[in-house]
Amino acid sequence: MIGLQIACGENITCPSIFGYLTVAMAFIIFVGSIYLVLSAVFGIRMGYLVIATAFFGWMILWSIIWVFGAHLGIPGVTTPKNQGPQGAAPIWQPFQSGTTVTSEKYPVVNEWPSSAWRTPNTSDASAVQEVQSAIQELLASQANTEHHIDPTAFNAIQPTDFTVKNVQFAVSGHTSLAIGQAFYTNGGPTITVALYHDSGSVQVYSWAFLIVSILGFAIHIPFLDRAERKRKAVLTGGARPPWLGPA
């Protein structure tokens, strides 16, 4: 069973198989119809080479926009990058929680609080918010597990039931770290949570599409070139067919 995943109308979600079928049908109709016309003109083999070269060329343009975005130099008229298929989003991953935190991998965690940890400034506002919600979600899910509550049940403990304070940042090697303290709003101990920043792999599929498209293009071009030369020889070489009068 494939879950309800994709938007397919106003306030309607459909199983993602609809998306897969849409892409496959679009490919058959839009690429197939042009291939049919091309094969009638060029023949089936050269028709394929023309449509495949065009397809990979188009995919190159498309994935360049995914990788780099499209910037026309006009203010406000721009396509941001990463609008295509995306890998894992960057997240703050909690790795330690308790009344105290220790870490062998990131020794700076043991020093907390110290001068190695800095309090966030105004430019960290979004990072602080991400850290706060990561801590809230972690504690809510831990609390629900501990009390055997279904997280979707009406009596589930919500992430917003936790208050996060004292978020601080540090760097260990190339990894950004954060520590925050949180408590259940209706009372309870203060829990300290340590997190590291996982920068994710958002761009990986944009690059994968670009590289595969360039490869596909490069593979087809020499064959198309050869097929075109051969065709030219057919068109320009040899003798003119005999004139048999008006048909």
Partner 1 sequence: MLAGLLDSGSIQFIIFGVMVIAIFITLFITIAK
Distance CA 15, CA 8 (A): 9
- Using the rule CB under 8 A, is 89 a contact of partner 1? no
Question: What amino acid is encoded at 14 in this protein?
Answer: C
Distance CA 217, CA 2 (A): 34
Which C-beta is closer to partner 1: that of 42 or that of 184? Answer: 42
Three-state secondary structure call for residue 243: coil
- Using the rule CB under 8 A, is 7 a contact of partner 1? no
Which C-beta is closer to partner 1: that of 29 or that of 125? Answer: 29
179 phi/psi in degrees, rounded to 5: -135, 140
**Contact between 9 and 23 (Cβ < 8 Å):** no
Binding mask 182-221 for partner 1 (x = CB under 8 A): ----------------------xx--xx--x---------
**Contact between 233 and 76 (Cβ < 8 Å):** no
Supply 91's token pair: 């997240």
Q: Write down the H helix ranges in 29-103.
A: 32-42, 44-68
- Using the rule CB under 8 A, is 2 a contact of partner 1? yes
Contact range with partner 1 by CB under 8 A, out of 45-53, 104-112, 113-121, 234-242:
45-53
Binding mask 9-28 for partner 1 (x = CB under 8 A): ------xxx--x--xx--xx
Which C-beta is closer to partner 1: that of 171 or that of 202? Answer: 202
Given the rule CB under 8 A, which residues bind partner 1?
A: 1-3, 5, 15-17, 20, 23-24, 27-28, 31-32, 35-36, 39, 44, 47-48, 52, 55, 85-87, 204-205, 208-209, 212
